């Protein structure tokens, strides 16, 4: 069921974007890994996406206030804005690019999308394959994906 005004990713969106894993690190160790889909936001869209209604009111400075008001926002603020996140992918990735990342939360049957800058990229050879670790600095959360996640967590089906 589609909820009016709520972001619902389509199979086409997922098929058109690259996939990987996002790792959350604390004190140098991986504490969580989530499936992710992502895309590089190129020019001229990179100048238009942050002021867009989906992202303009959900930057880190907005989340500081929201985190004081509700535990849900405090968790997102801590886990997305204040944690070391890195995207693991087999696709070549570069520093200083803007990405739109979708994290999949299977236990909530929901996704959370956010914009991030790639601050650094490391590469490894794991099991004979090149793996790129793109270190992310979150800039803004997609408001529609937050709405959908809240809706799903409240026990209603989207």
Can you give the pLDDT of all 158 residues of the chain as single tens digits? 333 444 455 566 667 789 999 999 999 899 999 999 999 999 899 999 989 999 999 999 998 888 898 998 999 999 999 999 999 999 999 999 999 999 998 877 788 999 999 999 999 998 889 999 999 999 999 999 998 888 888 775 44
Instruction: For residue 98, tell me if it sits in a domain.
Output: yes
**Nearest alpha carbon to residue 119 among 133, 101, 140:** 133
**Which pLDDT score is estimated for 29?**
94
Instruction: For residue 90, tell me if it sits in a domain.
Output: yes
Record the tokens describing residue 105, joined without a space: 């939360």
Instruction: For residue 5, tell me if it sits in a domain.
Output: no
Instruction: For residue 34, tell me if it sits in a domain.
Output: yes
For residue 76, give its domain range.
11-153
**Which pLDDT score is estimated for 12?**
64
| Count of domains forming the chain | 1
Residue pair 92/71 in contact (Cβ under 8 Å)? The answer is no
Instruction: For residue 6, tell me if it sits in a domain.
Output: no
**Which pLDDT score is estimated for 116?**
97
Instruction: For residue 2, tell me if it sits in a domain.
Output: no
Instruction: For residue 68, tell me if it sits in a domain.
Output: yes
Residue pair 87/21 in contact (Cβ under 8 Å)? The answer is yes
Instruction: For residue 158, tell me if it sits in a domain.
Output: no
């Amino acid at each position: 069921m589609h909820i009016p005004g709520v972001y619902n990713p389509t199979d086409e969106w997922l098929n058109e974007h690259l996939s990987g894993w996002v790792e959350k690190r604390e004190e140098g160790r991986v504490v969580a890994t989530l499936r992710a889909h992502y895309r590089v936001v190129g020019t001229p869209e990179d100048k238009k996406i942050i002021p867009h209604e989906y992202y303009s009111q959900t930057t880190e400075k907005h989340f500081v206030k929201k985190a004081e008001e509700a535990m849900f926002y405090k968790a997102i603020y801590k886990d997305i804005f204040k944690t070391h996140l890195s995207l693991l992918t087999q696709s070549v990735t570069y520093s200083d690019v803007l990405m739109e990342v979708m994290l999949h939360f299977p236990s909530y049957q929901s996704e959370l999308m956010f914009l991030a800058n790639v601050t650094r990229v490391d590469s490894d050879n794991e099991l004979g394959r090149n793996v790129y670790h793109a270190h992310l600095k979150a800039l803004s959360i997609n408001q529609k994906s937050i709405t959908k996640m809240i809706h799903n967590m409240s026990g209603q089906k989207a």
